[in-house]
Amino acid sequence: MRAAFLAVLAALAAGGCAHTTTPDASALPETERRLAAAREEAAAREARELLALERELTPLERAWGIKLLGIRLTAGGYALDFRYKVLDPRKAAPLVQRRFSPVPYVIVERTGAKLGVPFTEKAGSLRSSVTTAEQIRRGRNYTALFANPGKHARAGDRVTVAFGGFRAERLIVQ
């Protein structure tokens, strides 16, 4: 029985049926070339998208490395949801990084009310933040929820959002 097994094994090896996981050496340079081309294409596409977006940015957005996405009423009008997209993590660090960013607030032009970000024991501050600059991600949306307990802000009102030195003025509440 052992002799029969060895004969079958020898026949398979001689016939070139042995399985190998090593890729064909001639395919490696082509694969590497395609991967490099795909990486270059992705980088070029990202650069084009950022350049197009850069043309649309206001001076405030350019200075802080963000794109303002808006401020909306939420929670039945008892909160404001402020959103922005990070385009340049280094410039946006003072807005997102906890140790740099003072407590943000909203001023409602119509009433003069100053609305802050609520803090709860279980959830903490109701805004996106990170502890280190390396955690800030380009292209990611960040948020801050502002309490609006007296419904001081209404749809259509103009507000100013302030994070320390950052001031986005005359934003229209959606």
Question: What's the pLDDT at 107?
Answer: 97
Question: What's the pLDDT at 31?
Answer: 84
Question: What's the pLDDT at 69?
Answer: 95
Q: What does CATH list as the number for 59-172?
A: 2.60.40
Q: How many CB atoms lie within 10 A of CB 35?
A: 10
Would you say 96 and 53 are in contact if contact means Cβ atoms under 8 Å apart? no
Map out the domains of the chain as residue ranges. Answer: 59-172
**Using CB atoms within 10 A of its CB, is residue 150 exposed (0-12), middle (13-18) or buried (19+)?**
exposed
Question: What's the pLDDT at 102?
Answer: 72
Question: What's the pLDDT at 52?
Answer: 72
What Rg, from alpha-carbon coordinates, does the chain have? 28
HSE-up (13 A, CA, CB side) for residue 29: 2
Please list the pLDDT of the chain residue by residue as tens digits (174 residues).
555 555 555 555 555 554 555 555 556 688 888 888 888 888 888 777 777 766 788 899 999 999 999 999 999 999 999 999 999 999 998 888 776 667 889 999 999 999 988 876 665 566 666 667 778 898 899 998 999 999 999 999 999 999 888 999 999 999
**Using CB atoms within 10 A of its CB, is residue 168 exposed (0-12), middle (13-18) or buried (19+)?**
buried
Question: What's the pLDDT at 91?
Answer: 92
Rounded to two decimals, the pTM is 0.67
| Contacts with 162 (C-beta within 8 Å, 6 or more apart), sequence order | 104, 105, 106, 107, 168
